[in-house]
Amino acid sequence: MLHQAIASNPVRELERIESPKGHAQAQPRGLTPEERRRLFTYVDTDPVSVAADLPDLIRFAIGTGLRIGELCAVRWRDVNLEGIAVVNNHDMRLVPVVAVRQNVYPVKGKGLSVHGGKTSMALRIVPLPEFVADRLRLRQHGDESLDWPVFASAGRDGQPTYRWPSTLRRTVRTVRAQVCLDWMTPHSWRRTVPTRPSSTTK
């Protein structure tokens, strides 16, 4: 970059703006319940989506609202599926959580870099909806290293390593046309969180 002020060009990671000719650009939005069901049904049965780990990854993204770099950076040590105690005036219950502690981003010539968040607001505890916690329990086999990413890709040595956000974005672009959601990006999943009812289907 000019004068070496920053390590890489952040604009390179942005989604390309696509809108039909003669139409006003649609306002960004989350997925409706029907769109979520259509997306889940497709990725649960599509071999390419299953191989890319999209069924669990998309549910995790919609359930937590994490940014794509945060999503790719979540390790097993950051997840507490037994839950933390939440107490109110009437009862106490255990709520599964994920600690958002880091982010991954590409650095030209060096590969992926990991940092702990730009501000204190980036470091936070996020509750896991039960439909997300259930999926994570099913994918736990007991032999995972706590430092392995939850949604890992295979490294050159065969060991799990961090997934590239850009690779995930490309995979999403190959899937979205199949479910008539050409406008969908990983950021759409973040926008889905506030509109997601507590009874979201699995």
Delimit the domains of the chain by residue range.
30-195
Is residue 178 predicted with pLDDT exceeding 70? yes
Which amino acid is residue 54, in one-letter code? L
Tens-digit pLDDT profile for residues 3-55: 555 555 555 555 554 544 544 455 778 999 999 999 999 999 999 999 999 99
| Rounded CA separation 169/48 (Å) | 14
Return the top range by mean pLDDT from 17-31, 67-81, 107-121, 143-157: 67-81
Is residue 139 predicted with pLDDT exceeding 60? yes
- E strands, the chain, are 79-87, 92-100, 103-107, 111-115, 124-127, 153-154, 160-161
> How much of the chain, in percent, has pLDDT values that exceed 90?
56
User: Rg (Cα) of the chain, in Å, rounded?
Assistant: 18
In this prediction, residue 194 carries a pLDDT of 61
* Mean pLDDT value across residues 168-174: 91
In this prediction, residue 12 carries a pLDDT of 54
How would residue 87 be classed by pLDDT, with cut points 50, 70 and 90?
confident
* The token pair that represents 180 in the structure block: 């008539």
Under a CB-based contact definition with an 8 Å cutoff, are residues 71 and 60 in contact? yes
In this prediction, residue 98 carries a pLDDT of 96
Nearest partner of 194 among 72, 84, 29, 56, judged by Cα: 29
**Mean of pLDDT over the chain:** 83
Under a CB-based contact definition with an 8 Å cutoff, are residues 112 and 125 in contact? no
In this prediction, residue 22 carries a pLDDT of 46
In this prediction, residue 102 carries a pLDDT of 92
Of residues 4 and 67, the one with the higher pLDDT is 67
Provide the CATH topology of domain 30-195. hpI Integrase; Chain A (1.10.443)
Residue bearing tokens 């980036």? 122
Nearest partner of 184 among 174, 197, 199, judged by Cα: 174
Residue bearing tokens 């003669």? 22
> How much of the chain, in percent, has pLDDT values that exceed 70?
79
Question: What is the value of pTM for the model shown?
Answer: 0.79
In this prediction, residue 24 carries a pLDDT of 47
Of residues 199 and 87, the one with the higher pLDDT is 87
The residues that bridge with 197 in the sheet, in sequence order, are none
Under a CB-based contact definition with an 8 Å cutoff, are residues 25 and 16 in contact? no
Of 118-122, 171-175, 189-193, give the lowest mean pLDDT range: 118-122
